[in-house]
Structure 1
């Protein structure tokens, strides 16, 4: 049955990737783990289930990401609802969260507070809120649709996060005495679109992806400038970055008043995270 579904996928992707997509679909639809499939567990499909499989295959063949097709993605082992209002959570963003969790935060165990700027699906804020409990967790986004998704995810996972609309490019942060500010802002330049895959370019929200070619640090300058007065002394600023601009982001953070800038490479070896501390 799984092999029949795989044959319906006409993408020119790596066969292992297509197989992985098929496993995700079968686990979602039929609660069959990869082990069950490999063991050849048989199930009888209803006509409605056959139609659903055909619809999923058709959407995948149009380069729609399987996460949007199924309406879910995993981050830190937890299931998050996703739709086209939010980016699909990615492994490198898990590394950003890990970096924050391994950094000592000011404020004491019962008085720490964190802010996630541009929260999207809420995966960063929700994961940190659960891992750092007790903590006051806040998350902002310019998109009302994204905030709705993020709030649903936090509620489903029973994470205490407060969400509010905010435009980091236009408004000061309405917070003080934060222990950490975290963000995965837009950082792909418009010229890089030419080398991007259709499943990202045609389906994920451009508002959350792209920055102008002539100002790739647009969001990092705003985040640093507005985060500095909102943080406690020794407070952490941690961001995900475009690997091309690590030195430039560090320099922008230094201009904003931060110290101890550090660039962290992701598992594939690319500069992916910049961290800095308020004096």
Structure 2
């Protein structure tokens, strides 16, 4: 079957679950990853075709997408900040909003004195997307990454290796720590922040397949991770150290109050590309 013909069929079959743009994006992601063909290749050669064996592979993808399994899990990888990351059901799929947080940190620190080694800690590293991206783009940084999940740490280690960066990994539950073993110039975290009351806003592909441990917090203690990490940062950030968080869009005001209460200064709340309060920074 000609690939262009199959593309039309593929998008049509997914039309009840996804809009045409999203279904088409899935098609080209799979096409590039499995056949090393890009959209332009298809545009330039209308005669490109799938074999019967190819169609068998595509039928499996189609079946899983109809179950709303994230395409990134099906492919086993995704792109974040221009880098390739292995992803699986032990880690969250990196989001574009988190790229904005990484970009903020890099822009604030890329002109740092080259003779000074920045020490950075990423708490709740998951796939390692934040830690790896910072290590790649801040060559004078010494990066550490913590997670409670051994499976997540193993995935993050692979991503560090595949992207040729050195990261020290720490298997710890941050909620059980009273102090960190080292001091840092920067502490960053994208911890669990979705309240159970917000579950109805979460798409099925996230709710059914991404790890709840990395997503949800109790409605009555929504800032539990932020409170603990801020307390640790207060003790373990070096002079002029920086604390960065990705946050729940509905709790921007509460986050400002938390950082103020803990005597952080130069507090800045920023919106993401979707105009939601999404990241915050404070200095010690």
Question: TM bucket by the smaller chain?
Answer: over 0.9
Contact 1:10 1:61 in 2 (8 A): no
| Contact 1:115–1:138 (Cα < 8 Å) also in 2 | yes
In 1: Cα distance, 2:112 partner to 2:179 partner: 19
Which residue of 123, 138, 152 maps to 1:117? 123
For the residues of structure 2 that align with 1:267 and 1:107, how far apart are their CA atoms? 27
Q: Where do 5+ consecutive residues of structure 1 fail to align?
A: none
Deviation at 1:42, TM superposition (A): 3.8
8 Å contact from structure 1 (residues 141, 167) kept in 2 = yes
Distance 1:173 1:79, change over 3 A: farther
1:173 Cα deviation from its structure 2 partner: 4.5
TM-score, reference length from structure 1: 0.95
- Residue from 180, 188, 198 that aligns with 1:182: 188
- The match for 2:282 among 273, 276, 279 is 276
CA shift digits 1:235-254 (9 cap, x unpaired): 11000001111111121122
1:136 lines up with 2:108 in the alignment: no
Give me the CA root mean square deviation.
1.7
**Unpaired stretches in structure 2, ≥5 consecutive residues:** none
TM-score, normalised with respect to structure 2 = 0.93
Whole-Å Cα distance in 2 between the matches of residues 111 and 88 of structure 1?
30
For residue 166 of structure 2, what is the aligned residue in structure 1?
160
Work out the CA distance in 2 between the residues paired with 1:41 and 1:139.
Answer: 47
Structure 1 position 210 matched with structure 2 position 207: no
Give how far 1:211 is off. 0.7
- Aligned partner of 1:59 in structure 2 is 64
Alignment pair present for 1:30 and 2:35: yes
Which residue in 2 is equivalent to 1:220?
Answer: 226
Among 250, 254, 257, the alignment partner of 1:248 is 254
Higher alpha-carbon deviation: 167-176 or 91-100: 167-176
Q: Distance in 2 between matches of 1:235 and 1:257?
A: 13
1:170–1:48 CA distance, 2 compared to 1 (3 A):
same
Secondary structure of the residue that 1:119 maps to in structure 2? coil
| Pick aligned residue for 1:263 from 269, 273, 278 | 269
Q: Does structure 2 retain, via aligned residues, the 8 Å contact 1:117–1:140?
A: yes
- Structure 2 CA distance, aligned partners of 1:174 and 1:107? 24
Paired with 1:49 and 1:96, the residues of 2 have a C-alpha distance of 39
Is 2:79 the partner of 1:99? no
Equivalenced residues, count: 278
Contact 2:17–2:66 (8 Å) recurs in 1: no
Structure-2 change in CA distance of 1:227 and 1:40 (3 Å):
same
